[in-house]
Structure 1
Amino acid sequence: MEYFQEWEDTETTTTRTKTVKKTSSTTTTTTMTTPAKLYGKDLSVYDDVDVDTLLDKLTPEEINILAKEVDPDDSFLPPSQRTSYDCDKKPTGPLNRRQLIEHINREALETPDRPEAVAYVAGVIRGKKWNPPPPPQNQIDADEKIQIDLGDEYEHALTNASQEEIIDLAAILGFHSMMNQDQYHASLLNKGQPVGLGWDGITKASKPKIFPMDPPNSTDVDDSIRRVQNDDPKYIDLNWNNIKNISDEKFNNLFEGLEQNTHLETLSLSNTGLTDRGAEKLAQALENNNHLRVVNVESNNITPLGVVRLIKSLLKQKSVEEFRATNQRTQILGNKIEMEITQLIEKNPTILRLGLHLEYNDARHRIATHLQRNIDTKRQKIKAKYQIHLAAKGKAKIIRTE
């Protein structure tokens, strides 16, 4: 049973509502709410107020006073309208930037400097010289050089050591940063050093290896669109990576055929110039396709809102296990977009891998935790299916034996 009691506070003249809930047990829950007020009225009363009508009733003097009290944080407004400074002087003519700069420079040169209280004399200190306080004793002790006596045996061994032996010693002591890659591997393999790469050449870098360029993508765009539209059962992997100058019409034909396709599992559209317009068509296709497992749209021109739209479309069928969309036109997504992506990923029980650069640790940690949970759940399902298969197989053997 609920009892409602109202009273008026004599100090703040605010009406409060007190709700007392009684149950059959001895526990009593009390909830008190205080509505926010402005000039003695609830804020909801001002929702229907027409601001333009109120401004029309103000005089020009009152509008100027109101403008001085408000400082809008809008970069699209000129600085003269964003500050409270008001210049009543009329302009003397059109703005001439060159003459203005010449006038400023002339005024700076003609204006005399302020006289100094004490004349400057080279080599003479004016005023009190600041002396830094002495460092603490523990810092002085730490800065003192400690002379280490290695003994005659170690001194003789290091003096007569060869460059290969010194390199091996540096590797044993963990001074790997003092050696280049060739010296490090030579010390591990106990090989001699090439000419010019001894201990005296530790600052020399290894020459980079030249690898051949990747061959161009030879996928036939028109043929792949036709096979997707015809739902070819043998066509399970579509790769358009690094194919340039794909028209919007071909993207639309591909995504329209993808809505009815039941065999394609991998869709790779990396570095194809895909924009938000194509991403919207792709999102509609993902909402109708429940057979895709991998979607890759990396290195394109998709905005953060387009990435959010694609991730949101994965919640419709919940079949995609891997989604990659890093290296877009906008490198930084922002806190609001990352939190929205995090909430969408946490609602997806099937996604296992997400290729996306996140700046904030909270978003990275929450997404990594959820992906690990999805991986563990899938592993348990696979294990359960395997055990059921073994049990069914063993039961079949028993039936055959009987």
Structure 2
Amino acid sequence: MTTAQGFSLYKDLDKYKDVDIDDLLENLTEAEVLELESMLDPDNALLPASDRMRNQTDKEPTGPFDRQKLQEFLENQAKSEKDVEDRVPYKSGQKRGKVWKAKANADMKKNGNANADEIEVQGDAEMEEALKDATEEDLVELAGILGLHSMLNQDQYYAANVHTQAVELNENLRELVAGPGSLQDEGAKFSGISKCFVPKALNLEPENNLDVDKALKQVQENDPELTSLNMNNIKNIPIPTLISLSEALHKNTHLKTLSMASTRLNDRIAKALGEAIEANTALTCLNLESNFITGTGILAIMKALLNNETLSELRIANQRSSLGVKVESYIAEVLEKNKTIVKFGLAFDHAGPRGKANNFLMRNNEIVRKKRVSNRVENQ
């Protein structure tokens, strides 16, 4: 069926809108009613099976249900059927099938007291012959070639070298006292004890030595030299200082980039920043990732974007908890109305808001691209 035929079929169904269904059912014959019954299947679990399905049995009932007669019938039928014959006849005391046998080397000692000399290593005949007469110096050199020294970490390797040097120094002193040639050369040794060590705790976050009070003063005085402020990873900023910084952003006209990732921001600071975003006309990039902002604070920030036309990049990912589908849907609605956000850092948990947000961000990027192309043409 083509598309045109499908549309014409739907148009033909419009003439049946005003038909009375009760009149149609009254005029049906008994055969037509049975045919209609077989076509209907009400998918309702509350209805009993007798009401959901029509009776398809034409045989007359033979009598009431008798449980005892049914059991006797099943028992007699089971006795009359022959058992399946075994492929291998059963005989008392005889095992059938594959019998498990232990391997020849399975009886090795399982405890740790077995000597290394008792274990026979099977390998290439030439290799066994070469290793049979090898000295300890040759074995150490072979271990270096094979890279076995890389199995030790730096501390274990250092401890082994220190032990080896102490042994050699002791032997040299004994040789000086007893005379040259009194001690036999035992070759290279590597007999240090491999000790465990506690790994050092490394700080994964880079240190930030920013003078917060000085930066706050610069923002309040609208210092033209301060165009970028990085406050990342500073955990001990007082809340009044952050509130003052948010209030100073209302009238600041030079700060372009503000990064406050991993600074323990909460909803109170987020609401203050939302008011600042709504009044600020210079800020283009704001980073609030890895903080303790909940959905309430995110809503305050997104609501401010409805009245902001300068912010182009906003990052709010990795917060205290998941935002939920309502907050993510509101974020997508704000991005639909905002025409300046081109970079938005947030991992959506729901596919619907995620798809809408991606479409709106692509639209904003296309708007910026067209403006850039038009400005380039005008300059030429």
Which bin holds the TM-score, normalised by the shorter protein?
0.3 to 0.5
Higher RCO (CA-CA < 8 Å; seq separation 6+) = 2
- TM-score computed with the length of structure 1 as normaliser: 0.44
CA radius of gyration, larger in: 2
- TM-score computed with the length of structure 2 as normaliser: 0.47
